[in-house]
Amino acid sequence: MNERNWINATRPYDMLDHLGNGATERKARLLGVASCRSIYGGILNQIALAAIDVAEQFGEGLASIDELAAARTAATQGIASWEYGPECWVTNPPSPHGVSPGSYTAAGRFRDERVMVCSLIRDIFGNPFRPVVFDAAWRTDTAVSLAKHIYEARDFSAMPILADALQDAGCEHADILTHCRDESLTHVRGCWVVDLVLGKE
């Protein structure tokens, strides 16, 4: 894969294969959670949605493996009639350590869904062909406060404001500023710019 392929990719598994061990387990799980919410969020019952929340908490180190197992059971019961569904993402997120076929099916059964997941991959992992070295001087109190709000509240409407704060701190990195200000992009928890500001991997 080259940079052009990455930017135009419509097959999420190709992108994940390219990332390999460059994809941390946390980011891989957040990708699974975001994909699940984007694809299935409007048709799941409250039990299944709550299970997805637990999967996210586990990825952040805020839930135990036992809680994760219970979440998978709940998610399975919520969509018991499906061959592959969101429960695959609860305990088997796309990761560099192996991806279940069910997870791929759940994430890419149809072309529009695959395209959506590719967009999420780019938001979470950025562009591996243009790694960004984040200057600690850009991590001002204002920038960090904004990033924390965006992350915790999932208020991605504040991304352009974060760009302004970073620019005020001396950041002129085009990839960072464009990612924050491009209104056509979809942002989710794990967004590579927000993670950089917060020092998350």
Closest CA to 52 of 66, 72, 69, 38: 72
Q: How many CB atoms lie under 10 A from the CB of residue 80?
A: 9
Q: Is the Cβ–Cβ distance between 126 and 35 less than 8 Å?
A: no
Helix, strand, coil in percent for the chain, rounding step 5: 65, 0, 35
Delimit the domains of the chain by residue range: 3-125, 136-198
Per-residue pLDDT of the chain (201 residues; tens, 9 = 90+): 899 999 999 888 888 889 887 788 888 888 888 887 877 666 667 777 788 888 888 888 888 888 888 877 776 765 544 434 444 444 454 443 333 333 444 444 567 788 888 999 999 999 999 999 999 999 999 999 999 999 999 999 999 999 999 999 999 999 999 999 999 999 999 999 999 999 998
